[in-house]
Structure formats: C-alpha cells, structure tokens
Amino acid sequence: MGARGANRRNIERRREQLRGFASDRGGQLIVVSNRLPFISEKKKGRMRFKRSPGGLVAALDPALSRRGGVWIGWPGAETEDAASAAEMVPAVRSSDKVRYRAVPLSRREVAAYYGAFSNRTLWPLLHYFLARTEIHNDSWEAYERVNEKFARAAVEESTSADLVWIHDYQLMRMARYLRRMAPDRRVAFFLHIPFPSYDVFRILPWARHLMRGLLSCDLIGCQSQEHADHIMSCAEQLLGATVDRGHGVVFFEGRPTAVQAHPIGIDFELFQRLAAKAVGAAPSPSDPLEILSVDRLDYTKGILERLRSIEVFFERYPEYRRKTVFVQLCVPSRTAVQEYQDLKRQVDEAVGRINGRFSDGGWAPIRYLVRSVNQQTLVALYRSARVGLITPLRDGMNLVAKEYVAAQSESRGVLILSELAGAAEEMKEAVLVNPYDVEQVASAIHRALVMPGAERRSRMLALRHRVSVGNVQSWVHRFVASAEDAADRAGDESRVESRTDIVRRKLHPWLSKRPMAVLFFDYDGTLTPIVKRPEQAVLSVTGRRLLRRAMRTPNLDVAIVSGRALGDIKRMVGIPGLTYVGNHGFEIEGPGIEFHHDALQVYQGAVESASRDLREIPVDGMWVERKGATVTVHLREVSQDECGAAEKRVAAVLRHHKLRVTTGKRIVEGRPPIDWNKGYAVLHVLALRHGVDWISKVRALYVGDDVTDEDAFRSLRGMGRSIRVGPATHTEADLTLPDPAAVIELLGWLASGAFDVDRV
C-alpha cells in the first residue's frame, strides 16, 4: 500500500511539472509510437544512441519542442522492468520541453505482440494478404497486454489539457484502455498503413475489439478517403454505430469520433537541398536510360510482379536493350524471418534469370542492389532516373513516390505509380497502373520513355507543386489542429443537428466532385458581426486562425470580398497570401493578381464632389466614408425616425453626381454607374486564378450577408454555390446560415480539408 501511495505521489508530481509546459492552445503533445525515435545499442558497457532516420521524426520533433511534450515508446531492446528501460533513453533532448518515456517489453512480449500479432496478423490482413494472415489467440492476448502498458504510460505522462497522439497498427487497442483509465483525455490516432474493407477486416476474430479501440479516440486519421470510408463502414456493420458520412463522424457509446483522411507528406525542402547537392547525378545523353525502384524488401511491395513486367518490357520492346537499365534497390527488412528470407531468394533468382536471358556484351538489364543507402546517395539515384517505377501491391501512402518527385529538380522524370497505393489518390498526374497487370506496367514503362518532353515536364511540375504544398510539416499542423477540434466537439454528446450541420451535409457531396474549392467570404456581417462603426468589426482570434489554416490547406483557395477599401480590408484581416477584393470588386490583389478598375480614375472627381456634398447634410449620427472608387454613408447611429428621410437625401445627392445608388444594412453607397460589382469580380478572380474553364476544375463557394453580395450569388448561380448569412425575405443564395458564428464553424470544417476528392 505504501509503495502504491508513493508511486501515486510521484505521478502527481510529474503531472504538475508537465502543466508548466502547456501551450497557449491548451496543453502538451504526447506522441505514442511502437518505437522511440532513436536507435540504441550497447557498446563496451555503454549505451549509444542515434536518431532514427525519416521525415516523421523530423516533423514531430519541432512540434514537440514548440508545445512541450513527451514521446512514449519501446526503446528497441528487450527488458523486464521500467528501470532497465529508462537506461535505454538518451539524456540528450531535442529541446528542454521534450522528454522520452520508455515502455519496457520482455523478449516474449516483443515476439508475440510485435513479431506475431502486429507483423504476421495485422500487417498482412490490413494489406489484403489473407493467405499470409496468421490467427493465434496467444499473440492477441499479448497485443492486449502491451497496449494496456502503453496506455498506462500515457496516463501517467499526460493531463486532461494534453493531446495524446497514438501512431499506427501496433497500438489500435491502446485508446480503449486509456479512455477507461482517464476518461477526460484528448486522444487521436493515425494509421500509417491501409485499412481494408469490411469483408476483409471482419475475418479477424477480434475485429470488433479493434474497432472499439479506435472509436475510443476523438479523431481517427488515415492516409486516404478510401481508408476512412472503410473505417466508417466497419464501425457501422461490426458495432452498429451511427455513421454520419457527410461529416465524417461515427457515434458510438454516446460519443462522437471524427474519421478523416490526412495524407502524410515528406520534408520537401530537405529533398530539394539534397537534390541540389547531387551535381553529378544528371546523366549524359550517352548514358543508359534508368528506370528506378526503391523498396523495403517486403511482399507488399510487388517486387516479383515488377520484375516480371521488366521482363515483358524487354520482350516487347527489344530496341531498348543495351539502352536501358532497371535499377532495383532493396533495403533489407526482417532478415531473421523465414518468409522474408524466402522472398529474397525468389527475387535473387528472378534477377539472375532475367539478366541471364537478356545480357549482351557487358550490358545487363537489371542492376540489383540489396543494401541500405544514405539519403544523399538515394536522392542522387532519384535525380538521375528517367522513370520512377513505384508499384506496390498495396500501400497506405508510399513516400518513395513523393521523394522521387521532390528530387526531380529538373522535372525530367516520369512517375509510374500503383493505383493501389494511397499516394495515387493525390498524385493524379502520375502514370497510374494496376501492379498485378504485368502487361499494363510494361506498356506504361514504354509510354514513359517515349513521352514528349513537354508532357513529362507538365506532369512533374504539377506533382512537385502538390508534394511541396502537402509536406510533412503541414501534415503535422493540420492533423493536430483537427484532433483538438474533434476533442472539443466530443464534449457535447447531446448535440442536435444545427443549421451549420445541415449546410455541411448539403455541401459535402458537391464539394467532393472536384479536387479544389475556392472560398469567397464577405467580411462585415459574415466573418464578423455587424457593429456601429466599421473599425469595431474585429476578426476573432478563432476566425483568423481558421483563415490561416484554410490558406495552408492544399485543396483550398481563399478570398475575402468586401465593400471596404482594399487597404482597409487587408489591414482588418491581416493575413498575407490571401486574395483580397475591395471596393465591391473595383480593386483586387492576391498571389498572381493585381487589378484596379479603370473607373477608379474616371469617376474619381464625381466621388470626391459627392463626398463633399454629403458631409454638408445636417443629420445627427450620419457620417461619410470615402473609399477610392466608391463612397459610403453610414446611418447606423441615426435615429429610426430620421433614417428614412436621411436615406432619401443621400440618394438624391449621389444621383445628382451621376453615381449608382445601392442600399444595405443602414448604409447607402454611391458607385460608378458601370456594370461591375462583386459578382463580376468573383468571376474575374476565378478566371485569372484557375482559367476560363474553372468550372471543370474547382468548386466556387461564396458566403455573404448583404444586398451587395446578391450580385455574387447571381453570378455563381448554376456554376457554384452561395450562402446568405442572417435573415432574408428573398435571396439568390442556395443556402442560409443564421450568423457569423455559424460561418466560423463552417470555415473550421472547410479548413480541416474535411471534404474528399471523388476518385472516379
């Protein structure tokens, strides 16, 4: 009893220390993964540590350093107790705010939980290799025990303000135990590998247990929308959970769990720098054309099927013999496991047979490398290859495809990609193939080699833009923000469908039919409530944060459209990189756009004269705002009795100066008498940014509250969608929202990338 009491006091002291690291958003980041982010080994009686390679570690370390936090995982060596495991944690930290917590695992636990259940049950099943899936109750029980160990460590290292981020298939039950021990924890899970369909997943005797583990999280993240759809289907069919596919939410045991696709990226800038150093990597015209594949030696990677495709290629196209070399780099994996030894033997034999069949005069068709290489060498291989041949039989994402693209700094290469890899959902400009169809893959290789230079460059430039925007740093930021939003929403269990929910449900299928959405938001009365004086319309902290997040979301393009002067609206929003439309469309500035309507000069004198005359009208509370091409008279502080008469006098002055009169919410505006308004400005932005055929490429959504916004609603009628904010007896908008608070809620959903891209 005394020992347990002392342990409890130690835990409480640790929690008090952790509270000191809380971020402004409300807590630390607690990362939980099967392995800690370093490799430890004992040499001459001393522990030595080396950081694990890989973009995930490089991305999570800065996030932990900014917020403060703990990385929990197995240190990599078998041990029976926590004290021994603690010795395997390095004293050197990436930041004073980052600590490591080792979870001790015995040799038996490592063999059963990791070697057996994780790698011989879950790994093959989740990759659709049913014949390789082993079902053993002993390994399942070990998996349960180890997941409970990890959960206990996370409870001891966290508080209710923290976000616990669990990684990958080895820990699919951990959240269930964590939620039982500490119901108030904020928990998110990310699956780095595929999640299969219901018909495959239900083969597992413990499928329902695993689903309950996942649904104990506030957010389940995965690599593609296909995987998210499978998770929701399994929740519905295995557990009878209520599923709202429009919102991507599963309701189970009285609480909601968000299920979202968050495709992981790479450190694009790092690969850019490494490619720049690979100065000798560019081949000369006399060098053989290189086709490159890079894989961990694993049966899911389709290496044997790929070699058969290479053989068919040289059979079909003999003119490429002696001119082309296929380079297969295999990184050794699980070398002590018999089935991986068998796979290597089969690959060795296939390479030997194909080289023996086609080799001629010192030329061999396949260059076969079985070893690990450093990143600089790998990037040099990527950069010199004319074709990147990435054809796994099934993959959650496949970052090799993105690495190849990032290293193609001269945009000469062609990416051939398996349509069964998660990356195919994003990388549509690649040549997509079925990896099982060896004839199709052989034809794709030929197509890539004869592809015109302009087409190669166009495809690669588009891929490089996509990979650069969706980098791993952006992935971490978006996932953490989405997880915290999901945790906030999970607190309200009796939530009734709101007007925002209805709008989201109606927008979702429409948005999902295009890879990008262009969002246009009015400012006053839309993003901010209507106030007496324009300078009081301050954008909320949440609104600004969500606009920043929307700007960073790869499939969103955001513009602010306002009747305010351009300089004024840019100052009020204060976010560089957005597109700003001021003066009801007479002035536009944004990335690649700078537009000032000719009317600014032509009608400047008339607007100035009208402004002087309007200031002479003796009405208490009325004031005049000069805005370049337009003039606005504000009547919000004028008494109700005088407002009607004042409006008529103002309109008469504006008409006298040949200006067009527009009325709004207690305002009267004078504009040049030309056919130009917010609607024309919106179409102008769409055409400049996305081409005259924008309707076939993007979805356009306009949100506004005023009479002047009706022009935009009409312009987008039949081509886009529009939302009127506030009460309206008549509107051209497709949908309505009650107030700016509902708009901010909708913005949060859009900024999370919540709508998926149709995979037709």
Catalytic residues: 522
End-to-end CA distance of the chain: 63
Across the strands, what pairs with 101? Answer: 72
Burial 200-226 (b: 16+ CB within 10 A, else e): bbeebebbebbbbbbbbbbbbbbbbbb
The two three-digit tokens of residue 414, written as one number: 């062609």
Residue type, 626: R
**In whole angstroms, what is the distance from residue 127 CA to residue 342 CA?**
19
**In whole angstroms, what is the distance from residue 757 CA to residue 224 CA?**
10
**In whole angstroms, what is the distance from residue 354 CA to residue 348 CA?**
10
Closest C-alpha to 295, from 434, 471, 421, 446:
421
**In whole angstroms, what is the distance from residue 560 CA to residue 8 CA?**
53
Closest C-alpha to 595, from 577, 583, 607:
583
**In whole angstroms, what is the distance from residue 458 CA to residue 334 CA?**
39
CA dihedral 744, 750, 751, 756 (to 10 degrees): 170
Q: Quick one: residue 240, left, alpha or beta (phi over 0 = left, psi -120 to 50 = alpha)?
A: left
- Cβ neighbours of residue 162 closer than 8 Å, sequence gap 6 or more: 18, 22, 27, 28, 29, 30, 69, 185, 186
The two three-digit tokens of residue 454, written as one number: 């302009």
Alpha helices in 286-385 (DSSP H): 303-316, 338-358, 375-384
395 DSSP assignment: B
CA dihedral 143, 144, 147, 149 (to 10 degrees): -110
320 DSSP assignment: G
Closest C-alpha to 292, from 323, 322, 321, 326:
326
- Cβ neighbours of residue 708 closer than 8 Å, sequence gap 6 or more: 563, 584, 662, 664, 669, 677, 678
Q: At 253, give phi and psi (nearest 5°).
A: 55, 40
Q: Are strands 98-102 and 69-74 parallel, antiparallel or unpaired?
A: parallel
- Residue pair 349/311 in contact (Cβ under 8 Å)? The answer is no
**In whole angstroms, what is the distance from residue 557 CA to residue 755 CA?**
14
**In whole angstroms, what is the distance from residue 125 CA to residue 215 CA?**
20
Residue 338 burial (CB count, 10 A): 8
Distance set, CA 328 to CA 234, 301, 356, 378 (Å): 37, 12, 16, 12
- From the number of C-beta atoms within 10 Å of its C-beta (0-12, 13-18, 19+), residue 533 rates as exposed
Beta strands in 409-514, from DSSP E residues, in sequence order: 414-418, 431-433
**In whole angstroms, what is the distance from residue 652 CA to residue 757 CA?**
52
**In whole angstroms, what is the distance from residue 615 CA to residue 111 CA?**
84
637 DSSP assignment: T
- Residue pair 36/76 in contact (Cβ under 8 Å)? The answer is yes
524 DSSP assignment: B
The two three-digit tokens of residue 14, written as one number: 């640790």
**In whole angstroms, what is the distance from residue 507 CA to residue 511 CA?**
6
**In whole angstroms, what is the distance from residue 636 CA to residue 551 CA?**
33
Our measurement of the distance from residue 613's CA atom to the centroid of its chain's CA atoms, rounded to an integer in Å, reads 54
